[in-house]
Amino acid sequence: MNTDITALLEIDWAKILPFALPIIFFNLLLIGVALYDWFKRKDRIAAPYAWLAAILLFQSLGPILYLVIGRKVIRHDYSRETS
Amino acid sequence: MTNFYTLTQTELAEAAKEYKFIWLTLFFVILGVTQPLINNYMDVILENVGGADGITIEPNRPVPSSGEVLLSTISGQFNQIGLIILIISFMGLIASDRNSGMQDFILTRPVAIPSYLLSKLAGHWLISMFAIAIGAAVSYGYTIFLFGSFSFSDFLLFLLMYSLWILYVISLAILISTFIKGPILIAVTTIAVSIFLILIKSFNHLVFQLSPGGVLNVAENQLLPGGEVNHFSILSCGVFIVFNIWLAKINLNKQ
């Protein structure tokens, strides 16, 4: 992951935007699908906030891994059964 | 036969409930869009974000033909990272059934093992080819927009051959999941075997050409004619698929 933020300021956006746009759009759509599912299930899955960070920070691989693995790992919540 | 249709339908319904159609398609579209764009705008990208002062790109370098770009999309993106994600997405196709007890439930009904296995094969093949076909079509659109025209019938033939390879990978995953219990281990083994098959397919010997990966040679020849291809590898790939399913059936019978 590139963490040098200042490089973003030097980019000639007008030149790079036309072809970066579809890639950014589809990536945002993928993140949106993953986030929608995360909001529905965040009380049931294990380590929900770690998965939220994974979805938001890792480009395209994070949402996929969440949708394949994360949403199926259900938390064992024994406290709820007794109450 | 009705069992087969019902099981395939449940497979597809499950995938739709997991949004698999949406995100797998999105992923392949991202892969398909990225490669032609990077190929075309490499100099702009290097100039702006590369931090590459002093690197010059030959201004009169040969522009790749659209066939070459499509080939690099498929063999560089779909067949590596795409294949890995695809296999991870169906690593639990039999293991999760077994762990939840669903397999015992299905197989104690009057359902023949072949129709159970074939429904898995058909269901996951339809899901994967839906995603791959849309991703490849978007990639095709971008490629002819940026690099010039390419015959659509060749592209369709290529997709047909490539779908055979995907069918083989799914049958391999089914076979391996009858041997191994854990889903992660199944995914790793399947990925290792299929990458190995992709590696050995390009050796110029009859044994390697008739290996299951040989059908990829035929597929790539549709995009970029010229190499030696053995059309019998289509047949041999089919034989390998049937063999995998047969072996998986014997294995399930034993358990």
Q: Which residues contact A54 (CB under 8 A, 6 or more apart)?
A: A62, A65, A66, A70
Instruction: Please tell me the predicted confidence (pLDDT) of residue B167.
Output: 92
Instruction: Tell me which of A67, A69, A74 to substitute to probe the interface with B (most B C-beta atoms closer than 10 Å).
Output: A67
Give chain A positions within 8 Å (CB) of B191: none
Mean pLDDT of A60-70: 84
Instruction: Please tell me the predicted confidence (pLDDT) of residue B51.
Output: 61
Angle of helix B20-40 relative to helix B2-17, nearest 10 degrees, comes to 70
- Please tell me if residue B25 touches chain A, with a CB cutoff of 8 Å: no
Residue B186 lies in a domain: yes
Is residue A7 over pLDDT 70? no
> Chain A to chain B, count of Cβ pairs less than 8 Å apart?
53
Residue B172 lies in a domain: yes
- Please tell me if residue A47 touches chain B, with a CB cutoff of 8 Å: no
Residue B129 lies in a domain: yes
Place of tokens 């490629």: B143
Instruction: Please tell me the predicted confidence (pLDDT) of residue B64.
Output: 79
- Please tell me if residue B45 touches chain A, with a CB cutoff of 8 Å: yes
Instruction: Tell me which of A17, A24, A26, A27 to substitute to probe the interface with B (most B C-beta atoms closer than 10 Å).
Output: A26
Residue B140, domain extent? 8-254
Residue B2 lies in a domain: no
The ipTM (two decimal places) reads 0.75
Instruction: Please tell me the predicted confidence (pLDDT) of residue A11.
Output: 66
Residue A11: which of B27, B48, B85 has the nearest Cβ? B48
Note the pLDDT tens digit of each residue in A13-63: 676 677 778 888 888 888 998 888 888 888 888 888 888 888 888 887 888
Is residue A80 over pLDDT 50? yes
| Cα distance between residue B28 and residue B133, in whole Å | 9
Residue B107 lies in a domain: yes
Instruction: Please tell me the predicted confidence (pLDDT) of residue A83.
Output: 43
* pTM for the whole structure: 0.85
Q: Report the mean per-residue pLDDT for chain B.
A: 84
Total length of chain A: 83
In 3D space, the residue among B82, B169, B90 whose CA is nearest the CA of residue B133 turns out to be B82
Q: In chain B, which stretches have pLDDT less than 50?
A: none
In chain B, the number of structural domains is 1
